[in-house]
Amino acid sequence: MKSIRILALALSLALSVSLLGGCQKSGNASGSVNSSSPDVSTDASTTILPSDVNVSFLSGPTGVGAAKMMEDHAADPTGWNFSIAATNDEIVPMLNQGTLDIAATATNVAANLYNKTSGKITMLAVNTEGVLYILEKGNSIQSMGDLKGKTIYAPVTAKGANPEFIFNYLLTANEVQPSEVTIEWLTPQEITAKLVSSDSGIALLPVPAATSLLLKDQNVREALDLSAEWDKVSESPLVMGCVVARTEFLQEHPDVVQAFLKEYQASIDYMNDPANLETGADLVAKHGITANAQIAKKAIPQCNLTYLEGSDMRQAVQDYYEVLYQADPASIGGSMPYDSFYYLP
């Protein structure tokens, strides 16, 4: 990962001590702590940092919302350290080791971390809803039921992860048993090559891999939006991505977390505004979140960027975890997280 060091700020020792002393803590069932933010500035450009703050976003949709925030601070070499990770597997060990303070992850990964670390991770906000699509070279798939008896190409990174659980849940909800569908687990590059070189084929892909394939072969079409399919069988949104913090960091620096969230939400709003699509696509490519601006421009409207915090976040995520838990308790670390998992300032 390449680090983008940002936000030049003079570190005041006296103020740092004040911030550390001002953290308000309350116990909970898991032994972790949620913090209430003191009445301080909530602008990441003016908040005095305790030291360099390490933040990592995932390439693809969960990183897209941060592009404006990263650009706003890119010219300054100190303070916030932003980086882009290719997979959750890169982020998890750094959170465990304390070398990351804040990070974007898949929602099920966040629950796993919370359960496996006895509450050392806190979910701050949901940043991405559904980004999964069924693409087809052909015209046979009009509904989830039409997938019965078909062979689907799917990315190997989706196996045993959010996409597989979501896909199987939607199949079952449409009276198709997962065993009635054959999945070939491949890399996105292999999936693209198979469809481009064939007269027919079906793939399950997330944005921006789906976007890239659509751009590469105009005979491939978007057959099903799995977010729309989810909405047909669930009252809660499909919440696939989130941003988390180490609980210890949150306890010690609640003002820094509040500053981050305020600016992060503004960045997501900027990237969601159609008027900013051209500029936003350039920023996404510039910061290595997608391969190029052309893919970013087509992908951004399909990223389903959102910002859910507080009780709205908790309700949506708990409903989603219920689905994952019923599919496989291990998908969220074996148990439903306590309320202390959710940042409720």
Q: Mapped to the 3 state alphabet, what secondary structure does 68-134 carry?
A: HHHHHHCCCCCCEEEEEECCHHHHHHHHHHCCCCEEEEEHHHHHHHHHHCCCCEEEEEEEECCCEEE
Is the backbone peptide bond immediately before 274 cis, with ω within 30 degrees of 0?
Answer: no
- pLDDT for the residue 34: 41
Long-range contacts of 323-327 (CB under 8 A, 24+ apart): 323/165, 323/169, 323/234, 324/108, 324/111, 324/162, 324/165, 327/165, 327/168, 327/169
Q: What is the DSSP string of 213-238?
A: HHHH-TT-EEEEEHHHHHHHH-SS--
What does DSSP say about strands 151-155 and 53-58: parallel, antiparallel, or unpaired? unpaired
Q: Which residues of the chain have pLDDT under 50?
A: 1-42
d(CA 131, CA 206): 5
Q: What is the rounded distance in angstroms from the CA atom of residue 49 to the CA atom of residue 31?
A: 26
Distance of CA 81 to the CA centre of its chain: 19
The C-alpha angle 303, 305, 310, rounded to 5 degrees, equals 150
Measure Cα distances from 304 to 65, 128, 207, 269, 340 in Å: 10, 6, 10, 12, 27
Token readout for 46 is 């003016």
Q: Count CA within 13 A, CB hemisphere, residue 77.
A: 0
Angle of helix 107-116 relative to helix 162-173, nearest 10 degrees? Answer: 120
Indicate the pTM of the whole model: 0.81
Instruction: Quote the CA–CA distance of 311 and 150 in Å, as a whole number.
Output: 40
pLDDT in tens, 28-57: 333 333 433 333 334 555 555 556 899 999
Would residue 334 be called left, alpha or beta, if left means φ above 0 and alpha means ψ between -120 and 50 degrees? left
CB-neighbour burial class of residue 133 (10 A; exposed 0-12, middle 13-18, buried 19+): buried
Look at residue 91 in the predicted model and tell me its pLDDT: 94
* Alpha helices (H) in the chain, listed in sequence order: 13-21, 61-64, 67-73, 88-97, 107-116, 162-173, 188-196, 209-216, 226-233, 247-252, 254-272, 277-286, 293-299, 310-327
Query: Which residues, at least 6 apart from 173, have a Cβ–Cβ distance to it below 8 Å?
Result: 144, 233
Q: Is the backbone of residue 295 left (phi > 0), alpha (psi -120 to 50) or beta?
A: alpha
DSSP secondary structure letter of residue 240: -
Give me the pLDDT at residue 44, please: 55
Measure the CA–CA gap between 85 and 105, rounded to whole angstroms.
10
User: What's the token pair of residue 124?
Assistant: 């701050």
- Angle (nearest 5°) at CA 170 between 168 and 174: 115
